[in-house]
Amino acid sequence: MIYRCLLLLTLFLAGGKAEAQTLQEYLDSARANNPVSQENQNLSAIAALEVDKAKAMYYLPEVSASGNFLYAPVVKGVGYEEAITNGALYSAQLNINMPLFTRRKVEAQMKNSAVNQEAYRNNIELSQHDLDRQVTEQYILT
């Protein structure tokens, strides 16, 4: 009899800790772990970075430099003539490319990026509404 009472007391104390989650907790968890929303947020951030990329490509100058050095020693009178060529061949080059008349390209790129960002924001809202509907439906059914 004592064993039965102890068993019932143990089951009663161990089984009473279950808490039901609310609908809002399920919705918050689903929104935080929704891969579609996360993907659209990442795509929106990428579209914002495309504007910076376009500005860098079409507004800022591009600078490049190169250089060569060739030394050909004179062996038994064969090679570069030291008196004429200083014994070697030197060359250096500096290039600066500045894009001109590219304002319209940048404006078009910025408009395209703004449209893409708005589309991604709309996709985020749409997917969250759909997710809310699905979670609420499952919550009601269970």
Question: Would 17 be classed as within a structural domain?
Answer: no
Residue 72 and residue 39 share a domain: no
**Enclosing domain of residue 56:** 22-61+99-142
Is residue 56 located within the same domain as residue 106?
Answer: yes
pLDDT tens profile 5-34: 666 656 666 554 445 788 899 999 999 999
Reading the block at residue 24, the tokens are 């809002």
Going by C-alpha positions, the residue among 53, 44, 50, 41 that lies closest to residue 116 is: 44
Co-location of 36 and 103 in the same domain: yes
Query: Model pTM?
Result: 0.58
Q: Is residue 28 part of a domain?
A: yes
Half-sphere exposure of 71 (CA within 13 A, CB side): 1
Phi, psi of 130 (to 5 degrees): -65, -40
- Two structure tokens written together for 39: 């993907």
Domain count, the chain: 2
Query: What does the pLDDT look like over 90-141, one tens digit per residue?
Result: 889 999 999 888 889 888 988 998 899 999 999 999 999 999 999 999 989 8
| Residues 52 and 107 occupy one common structural domain | yes
109 in the same domain as 44: yes
